[in-house]
Structure 1
Amino acid sequence: MKKIFLSVMCCLILLPTYGQHSIKGKIIDSENAVMPMVNVAFLNQSDSTLVTGAVSDSCGIYSTSLDGGSYIIRYSYLGYETLYKSILVNADITLPIARMELSQTELEGVEITAYRKPFKLNRDGITADVPNTILAKQTTLNDLLCKIPGIQQRGDAIEVIGKGTPTYYINGREVTDQTELNNLAIDQIQSVRLMTNPDVRYHSEQRAVIEIKTKRLGEGLAFNVSGNLLQGNHFSQNYRMNGSYNYKNWDFFFSYNYDRGKKDSDLDIYQQTQSDTIWNLTNLSQKQIFNESHAYTGGVSYHFSPESEVGLKYEGKYSEGNTSSNETLSMIPDKGVSTFIKNLSDVSDKSVSNHFNLYYINDWKNGWKMNVFGDYLHKTDRSRGNIREWESDDAETSMDYHRKADWDLFAAKFSLSYETEKAGTFSLGYDFSHTSGTDYIEYIRALNNGRTRNTELKNSLYLSYDYTWNNLSLGAGLRYEHIRSDLRETNDSKSQNQTYHNFLPSVSLSYNTESLQQSLTYSIHTERPPFGVMNDNAVYTDRFTYQKGNLYLKQALTHDLNYMLFYKFLFFRIIPVRTIRW
């Protein structure tokens, strides 16, 4: 009798469930993009009372269960017109797609904020919208960047997978110092775009670019002070101060960053060299590195309109540091005499840089856009070192040296584009840069001194065309570079003159649907050695190791092919195919 009673009770409890039907549906906006977080209410048709509700997920899908009958569905989302539909439920139903339209009502004093998709893939790369997404909740820029597919953090540095360290741009202006990125607040960022295969509009040496667009703050005074204290093996500290004053069309801004820290670095090297004699090298190294820096920026801009502005910005930095190392080195041959060396070195360095940037940006709203940038950069580096060595017989040798480098850069960039209604977008641009500098090293009582003078003049011109038709986007461009490089080692009368004429094409193709986004790009880039290694100077490490530049290094051409795919939350990218011609 007890079992019969329990069975009857279970049937009574489950009976309403068996009488309900599954209701599913999907919601999109006027641009066919899925809409998450939309409120879906199911109302009784007779008296409009609420029966049940649901919320659309990140794919715009919602679902619930209802008894048979007639209902009214109400779709509501802030900033969109409320949508009503009537349905009759007598079986499991997959409802037609609901399309919601932006609200046309303007409310004075009310700011409407709508949810935005965080990532979008197009032929230029991956664009991430920051406001009203999970990216806006990050605390640092590195945390934000690491949420973008294809970017990872290695140590303290950001790296694009397969491309190495990226070049940063803020509002179209190239970033020359990492401190400017450290001072950038998350709530100031409008969007971030990652380009893993930059087209002809960018310098040919740049194989990965991160573009950051910022928002203009409202009128008034803004001031922010923050700091970090870290206690590990050593105590480190960082303080940042940012301020701005916006009045009508004028923006004034400044920032100051102080950083001080110390860290240990241990490196053990075991190496075997085989020739007529087999050499076994063991090098045990311990270093302690101290750094202190002051970075400061300031500037002013004037807005002719929301799409047009002119501005001047100054960036300065002073840093100094010290590196103390303790090395033990053994060189053991399979025959002959072994050598054991103890090496103590102490190197101090100072660096000062000053950077002025003048820019003008204009969007005429009739299809024409123009950007003009001018830069002057001066940098000075100084270092002094002392090296002491003890060999197997306890004989001590000591060496002092000092090194200095002075560099000047003048650069200008002009770009103009015209977007037509049906024929696509045409763009052209011109880049100019002149770099000159001297790298000097002097040893006391040892080695030959070196003084290398480097001068480079670069003129670049590019043309590009972009066209979008429905879900398909095409892009093609050609960049021409003329580079003249002169290097001269004054002490030894060595010289090297190089002239390059580079024609660098790029092609891009993307096809995007509601759930699938694809991009294919091909471009040719140049790889050129930095000025710091294009010299004839010899840097002494120990009696077996010298680090020396190469005056005769030349450029290489790199062919890059990239394929990227977004499917819902799945990201896939083919590692670039590279062919280098020396």
Structure 2
Amino acid sequence: MRKLCFAIICSFISAHAFSQCIVSGEVTDQLGRRISGAAVVIMNAADSVSIAWEYTQDEPFHIQYTNPNNNKLLLYIEALGYENIYKNLPENATHCDIGRLKLVHSSTQIEEITITAEAPIKYKFVAGKNEFEIPRSIGEQVFDLNMLLMHIPGLAVDGDKVTVIGRGTPEFTINGQKPRPGELEQLAPKDVARISIDRMPSARYSKEVKSVVDIITRKVLRDRVNVRVANDFRMGHEPRNGSAVAIDSRFGKWTNYASYMYDYGRTYYETVYATTLHSEKQSYERIYSQKPLFTSHTHTLTLSPKFQINDKSFIDLQYHYKRKSSDGSHPEIFDIVGYERSESTGSSRTDNDTHNLILRYFYETEGRNRLDLNCGYSSVGEKGHNIISEWITSSQSTPELITTDYTDRFVSETVSFTANYEHTFGRDITADMGLELAEIWNHGKTIYKGSAPLISNTEETQAAWYVNYGQQIGKFRYRLGLRGEYLYKYRAENKDVNADPFSWLPSVSLSYEPNDAINLNFYFRRSTIHPTISERDPILHYVNKYEYMRGNPDLKSYIENEIALRLELPYHFSVALEYDFAKNPIIMMDDIYNIEKQQTILTYHNFPEKKNLIANISWYRRFGFYTLFLDATYDQNWSKTPFGDGYLSLHKPMFGMRIQQTAKIAKCAEFNVAFNYQTSYDALYTHNSESYNMDINLALAFFQRRLNIVISCYNIFYTDQRTKEMYKNISTENWNRMFDRQFRVGISYKFNSLKSDYRRNDSNANILNRLQ
């Protein structure tokens, strides 16, 4: 009985100690009329972190919150056209009636509350990452996200391609979460608050990810309805025209997003492969060329409702549908010099339908512990019809015409689940762990005219888990990570089961920041890589009379080591080094299949060794209206390539440079020029020619930045891409003419509601930035 009474008393005390506190009152103007749509925010007085908030709806407000640490709190009121006010809340009070709060009309006109319009991008180093704070005025000036990324030091934007200089193509995330289909392309630049570059990815990411660009969006504190229409026209080897309309609305705790995009495009390029087959008896030379032309129509629909549980937690659902229809003609010439020549013309028709449905739940506690859950289903269906007419002439036989007519049916269904939990221990220790699961069913059928259909049914299971632990010790920070990956595949036709052993990826990152201008980063990652099921597939696949494909069941697993070092110095100067080493890495190359019939087989090999060193020096500086970015890169490869009876030593380094200039030539106009150059170089088994290009962009904004126009020209100095490959008894010279020069005109207009046009004045900018 004593224990029961004691438990009841303790539970009562605990419930009382952590009970809900309530603040109530009403917001009016000087005449006592209630103001609808005013933001009422309860925040910590020490750091201005928001605890709870509410919008007034022409009635008194009642806000519930908890204050377990009995911190000193502030009440902050903000409303369109009125002066903001602050009020201290009484300590240890469970219910506080503020009464009537009268707001005074602002004497400053809305058009004049833009004194931070020309504010520059602010930079700081946070937890081993480079973080850039984006003023809203810059986001409103540019046409799309890639135009905004041109303003970020360390990023190279060439048309639609974005790279982290020295670290390759990044993985993009939005608010720390992987973007859902179409989410990144639909992100409005004006909604971007910060951009973070992580050159030391944690164990959350697979071995293919060498850098992460996280885009942090602004929080919407007001009800609004935004409509954006855009058209993007491009002329070049891939002429296209894309039109889109997007509607973004918020009413209370509900946010709804809907968009539709239509894209029409054509693709044309020319490729020539000159291959020499070497043997002890004789050598053969064959030339393969193609000039494909494709036309496509794409429709994309996205619907996404979102419910804000509180100011830090939400649940949302996204449906994404994409339909792409393409027609193509692909003339090809296959010439065995002095022996046989094949000329073919083909036509194809492909229809592709993709459905994605993703449910996401995000929860964050007052201690900034986060739980992120995602459940998804996707379905991809493809139907294709191909007709190929091949005319073969030979010095040893009569001419022959071969016609191949076949149809394809393919359906892939995926059910996925991901979970990530981040926990903060005080202010200096963080840990996160996660799980990724996916079950994939593939059903394929190929029907050749006059033959029995070929059926393929497979089931695949993909799994990964990871854990990271980080700690800040004074000016020093470290993070330890471990990731495991597993793959299982079952083929129904022959009841074949393949399972890869676990692949382990440990990683270590260290950061030292003696002051705001200097920081030193060190990163190490070790990856155990096993051959995939398709890479070990022993089944021989027919491509044409002279080419086959097959996996290699004798492939070996290998270990790859990655070491990176980066030093940031005063005056925006940085130096970076990266060294990669792998023994017996897996590559995909042609090998001789039957030299008498001039046949080759495309298969996988264990390359003897790969060693690569990349050094990069970067500097940028802002001179008022003008910003200059300079980058220089040195890339050195050491490899001994098996060729003939010996080895080739390929180690010619690559020297590259990038110069980018951005100038604010008028209040409504911004001009950007980027020039890239790299020398010829060797990489593993290839020799690559030099290349250079230049891009020009002009961004215009009118009607209070609601109308955005971009005029661009990409790859003004066009260069052909030439590559020579050498491996074992085959050497191939590739000549690729992509006709990459491209002209672009993009126009967008935003129909914003009145409340979304509100500009905060400079005196409250710091407080509101913390709320975002």
Cα offsets for 1:373-399 (capped at 9, x unmatched): 222222122222111111114421100
1:405 to 404, 410, 413: 410
Partners in 1 of 2:554 and 2:388 — Cα distance? 29
- 1:223 aligns to what? 227
CA contact (8 A) 1:162 1:576 kept: no
Please give the secondary structure, in 2, of the residue aligned with 1:427.
strand
CA contact (8 A) 2:520 2:567 kept: yes
1:231–1:479 distance in 2 versus 1, CA, 3 Å: closer
- 1:256 aligns to what? 260
Please give the secondary structure, in 2, of the residue aligned with 1:181.
coil
1:233 Cα deviation after fit: 6.2
Partners in 2 of 1:240 and 1:398 — Cα distance? 41
Does the alignment pair 1:311 with 2:312? no
Runs of 4+ in 1 over 6 A off after TM superposition: 106-114, 528-539, 549-555
Partners in 2 of 1:315 and 1:528 — Cα distance? 34
- 1:469 aligns to what? 473
- 1:387 aligns to what? 388
Cα offsets for 1:127-179 (capped at 9, x unmatched): 332225856643222233344444434564334456554333223432354x4
- 1:180 aligns to what? 183
1:159–1:503 distance in 2 versus 1, CA, 3 Å: same
Residue correspondence of structure 1 range 481-496 to structure 2 within 5 A: 481=485, 483-488=486-491, 490=493, 493=494, 495-496=496-497
- 1:425 aligns to what? 430
- 1:377 aligns to what? 378
Partners in 2 of 1:466 and 1:112 — Cα distance? 40
1:253 Cα deviation after fit: 0.8
Please give the secondary structure, in 2, of the residue aligned with 1:142.
helix
Partner amino acid, structure 2, of 1:403? D
2:518 to 495, 508, 516: 516
- Which sits farther off after the overlay, 407-416 or 235-244? 407-416
1:280 Cα deviation after fit: 0.9
- 1:100 aligns to what? none
Partners in 1 of 2:198 and 2:379 — Cα distance? 29
Please give the secondary structure, in 1, of the residue aligned with 2:331.
strand
Cα offsets for 1:69-111 (capped at 9, x unmatched): xxxxxxxxxx9xxxxxxxxxxxxxxxxxxxxxxxxxx998798
Partners in 1 of 2:168 and 2:557 — Cα distance? 18
Cα offsets for 1:307-355 (capped at 9, x unmatched): 11111111111112122111222112xxxx5111111112222211111
Residue correspondence of structure 1 range 551-570 to structure 2 within 5 A: 557-567=559-569, 568-570=571-573
Residue correspondence of structure 1 range 67-466 to structure 2 within 5 A: 115=119, 117-132=121-136, 137-153=141-157, 156-161=160-165, 164-175=168-179, 177=181, 179-217=182-220, 218-232=222-236, 236-275=240-279, 276-332=281-337, 338-392=339-393, 393-421=398-426, 423-444=428-449, 449=454, 451-460=456-465, 462-466=466-470
1:459 Cα deviation after fit: 4.5
CA contact (8 A) 1:296 1:316 kept: yes
Partners in 2 of 1:551 and 1:298 — Cα distance? 45
Partners in 2 of 1:237 and 1:134 — Cα distance? 26
State how many pairs are aligned: 470
Which consecutive unaligned segments of at least 5 residues does structure 1 have?
Answer: 1-30, 32-78, 80-105
CA contact (8 A) 2:370 2:422 kept: yes
1:274 Cα deviation after fit: 0.7
Does the alignment pair 1:575 with 2:578? yes
Cα offsets for 1:415-458 (capped at 9, x unmatched): 22332335512333333222232344343358994625141241
Partner amino acid, structure 1, of 2:522? L
1:350–1:194 distance in 2 versus 1, CA, 3 Å: farther
Partners in 2 of 1:402 and 1:477 — Cα distance? 47
CA contact (8 A) 2:238 2:267 kept: yes
1:187 Cα deviation after fit: 0.6
Partners in 2 of 1:306 and 1:476 — Cα distance? 31
Partners in 2 of 1:387 and 1:557 — Cα distance? 43
Partner amino acid, structure 1, of 2:467? L
Please give the secondary structure, in 2, of the residue aligned with 1:180.
coil
- Which sits farther off after the overlay, 547-556 or 225-234? 547-556
- 2:76 aligns to what? none
CA contact (8 A) 1:433 1:457 kept: yes
- 2:718 aligns to what? none
Which consecutive unaligned segments of at least 5 residues does structure 2 have?
Answer: 1-46, 48-83, 85-102, 586-772
CA contact (8 A) 2:174 2:216 kept: yes
Partner amino acid, structure 1, of 2:438? S
Partner amino acid, structure 1, of 2:186? N
Partners in 1 of 2:552 and 2:150 — Cα distance? 36
1:122 Cα deviation after fit: 4.6
Partner amino acid, structure 1, of 2:458? R
1:242 Cα deviation after fit: 0.7
1:220 Cα deviation after fit: 2.0
1:530–1:497 distance in 2 versus 1, CA, 3 Å: closer
Cα offsets for 1:488-546 (capped at 9, x unmatched): 262xx372411322333221111222222322122234667788878678776542234
CA contact (8 A) 2:500 2:533 kept: no
Point out the structure with max Rg over C-alpha.
1
Please give the secondary structure, in 1, of the residue aligned with 2:269.
strand
- Which sits farther off after the overlay, 536-545 or 386-395? 536-545
- Which sits farther off after the overlay, 363-372 or 248-257? 363-372
Partner amino acid, structure 1, of 2:188? A
Partners in 1 of 2:508 and 2:426 — Cα distance? 22
Please give the secondary structure, in 2, of the residue aligned with 1:202.
coil
1:571–1:435 distance in 2 versus 1, CA, 3 Å: farther
**What's the TM-score once normalised by structure 2's chain length?**
0.55
1:173–1:352 distance in 2 versus 1, CA, 3 Å: farther
- 2:745 aligns to what? none
1:252 Cα deviation after fit: 0.8
Please give the secondary structure, in 1, of the residue aligned with 2:148.
helix
Partners in 2 of 1:441 and 1:580 — Cα distance? 39
Partners in 2 of 1:539 and 1:349 — Cα distance? 22
1:226 Cα deviation after fit: 0.6
Please give the secondary structure, in 2, of the residue aligned with 1:182.
coil
- Which sits farther off after the overlay, 493-502 or 536-545? 536-545
Identical amino acids, percent of aligned pairs: 18
Higher relative contact order (CA 8 A, sep 6+): 2
CA contact (8 A) 2:437 2:461 kept: no
CA contact (8 A) 1:116 1:133 kept: no
Partner amino acid, structure 1, of 2:178? E
Please give the secondary structure, in 2, of the residue aligned with 1:198.
coil
